[in-house]
């Protein structure tokens, strides 16, 4: 008999804002915008941008990017700001990545230490044939609709690789986005020029695709001593996060496994270094079991992906590890009482009214 899911309200996702928007006030002033007014509209204060230990609700960061884009009348604000951002300001994440030996190690570092900077975010790296795909997404259905976050994330990864290779002209083969706002052809060309890549829309996650051989290229910024010191500090930060919210850590790991097509309890236990029995026991103490948690993560990702109208239901089902659409339809009906297509149509009708 399955245990009932816990009624515990999940904590609000947060972000260390100072790490991701370093230099924003100067950037805005140079473009004749008023940083104080923009922060006020985003329900933030100046200290949020400079205190390296302060975390604010993630939604405030997403709103901030959108407000900046509107105020500057710049559809590509996330790309523009991300392109000039020095990855070294990204705290543990940026400094370990830049100190890594190879591009591949740097990108895997981002995936490991990203929780020290932002909650509910996943960064992945997959290799298929001679191509690599590095991507990011949020395990929260309320965060999908914000475009500027995807632009910033893609620009950040491109910038990290360019800094590491000391090659400001490096570009991926493709930049992929779940969706984009309506753009004139000239604006789409400008986006492609900024990324130095072909732009494709309709992928489940935002990311870049490039030749896998790049992963083996040495980082010109590599520094063994800095890497060891920052990894030690980063591991301490991760340990503190795990002690603070074990379920959030499990949800993040399950989300990564789901996207990779592996969602068995044995695989999760092996990934986090526990036995299956220990995992099940620790979940039981919180009134949960693995099936409950897997269902909750899949539901969250499904609600997220259904916001992307470029994706058909079959693509969403496959992205969540379902072997056929009917199994996904059955699960979604159980979660929300509607078929996925009906739910998407109801959300569209609601947004049109």
pLDDT digits (tens, 9 = 90+) for 303-317: 888 887 878 899 899
Q: So what's the pLDDT on residue 243?
A: 58
Q: Supply the mean pLDDT for the chain.
A: 89
What Å distances lie between residue 349 and 220, 224, 314, CA to CA?
Answer: 52, 55, 22
What Å distances lie between residue 51 and 12, 16, 43, 90, 107, CA to CA?
Answer: 19, 8, 16, 13, 26
Q: CA-to-CA distance for 279 and 253, rounded, in angstroms?
A: 13
pLDDT digits (tens, 9 = 90+) for 99-136: 999 999 999 999 999 989 988 888 999 999 999 999 99
Q: Please determine, for residue 9, whether its predicted confidence score (pLDDT) is greater than 50.
A: no
Q: So what's the pLDDT on residue 305?
A: 85
Q: So what's the pLDDT on residue 7?
A: 39
Counting Cβ atoms within 10 Å, is residue 168 exposed (0-12), middle (13-18) or buried (19+)?
A: exposed
Q: Are the CB atoms for 134 and 201 separated by under 8 Å?
A: no
Q: So what's the pLDDT on residue 3?
A: 41
Residue 275: CB atoms within 10 Å: 11
Sign, Cα dihedral of 205, 211, 215, 218: negative
- 241 vs 263, higher pLDDT: 263
Mean pLDDT on 340-349: 83
pLDDT digits (tens, 9 = 90+) for 266-288: 999 998 889 999 999 999 988 88
Strand pairing report for 56-57 and 121-128 = unpaired
Q: Running DSSP on this structure, what letter comes out for residue 218? A: B
**Mind listing the domains of the chain with CATH numbers?**
14-216 (3.90.1520.10), 245-352 (1.10.10.60)
Structure tokens at 265: 């309890």
Mean pLDDT on 29-45: 96
Three-class SS of residue 122?
strand
Of 15-19, 46-50, 250-254, where does mean pLDDT reach its minimum? 250-254
Q: CA-to-CA distance for 150 and 133, rounded, in angstroms?
A: 15
Q: Please determine, for residue 97, whether its predicted confidence score (pLDDT) is greater than 60.
A: yes
Q: CA-to-CA distance for 66 and 204, rounded, in angstroms?
A: 21
200 forms beta bridges with 176
Q: How many residues would you count in the chain? A: 353
Sign, Cα dihedral of 101, 107, 112, 116: positive
Of 85-94, 136-145, 272-281, where does mean pLDDT reach its minimum? 136-145
> Confidence band (pLDDT; 50, 70, 90) for 8?
very low
- 220 vs 285, higher pLDDT: 220
pTM for the predicted model, two decimal places: 0.81
Structure tokens at 16: 């260390």
Q: So what's the pLDDT on residue 11?
A: 61
């Amino acid at each position: 008999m399955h245990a009932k899911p816990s009624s515990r309200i999940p904590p609000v996702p947060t972000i260390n804002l100072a790490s991701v928007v370093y230099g924003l006030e100067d950037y805005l002033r140079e473009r004749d915008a008023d940083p104080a007014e923009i922060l006020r509209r985003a329900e933030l204060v100046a200290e949020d941008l400079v205190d390296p230990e302060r975390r604010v609700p993630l939604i405030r960061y997403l709103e901030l990017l959108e407000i900046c884009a509107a105020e500057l009348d710049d559809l590509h604000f996330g790309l523009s700001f991300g392109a000039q951002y020095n990855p070294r300001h990204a705290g543990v994440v940026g400094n370990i990545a830049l100190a890594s030996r190879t591009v591949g190690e740097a990108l895997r570092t981002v995936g490991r230490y990203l929780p020290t900077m932002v909650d509910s975010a996943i960064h992945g790296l997959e290799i298929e044939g001679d191509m690599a795909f590095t991507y990011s997404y949020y395990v929260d259905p309320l965060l999908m609709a914000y475009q500027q976050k995807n632009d910033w994330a893609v620009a950040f990864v491109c910038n990290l690789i360019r800094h590491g290779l000391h090659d400001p002209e490096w570009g991926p083969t493709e930049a992929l986005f779940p969706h984009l706002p309506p753009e004139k052809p000239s604006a789409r060309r400008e986006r492609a020029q900024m990324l130095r890549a072909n732009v494709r829309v309709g992928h489940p996650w935002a990311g870049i695709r490039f030749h896998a051989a790049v992963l083996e290229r040495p980082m010109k910024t590599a520094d063994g001593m800095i890497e060891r010191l920052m990894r030690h500090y980063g591991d301490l930060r991760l340990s503190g996060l795990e002690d603070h919210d074990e379920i959030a850590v499990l949800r993040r790991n399950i989300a990564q496994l789901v996207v990779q097509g592996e969602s068995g309890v044995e695989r999760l236990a092996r990934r986090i270094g526990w036995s299956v029995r220990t995992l099940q026991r620790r979940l039981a103490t919180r009134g949960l079991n693995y099936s409950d948690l897997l269902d909750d993560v899949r539901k969250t990702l499904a609600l997220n992906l259904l916001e992307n109208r470029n994706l058909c239901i079959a693509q969403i089902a496959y992205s969540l590890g379902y072997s056929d659409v009917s199994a996904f339809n059955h699960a979604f009906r159980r979660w929300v009482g509607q078929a996925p297509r009906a739910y998407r149509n109801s959300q569209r009708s609601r947004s049109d009214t």
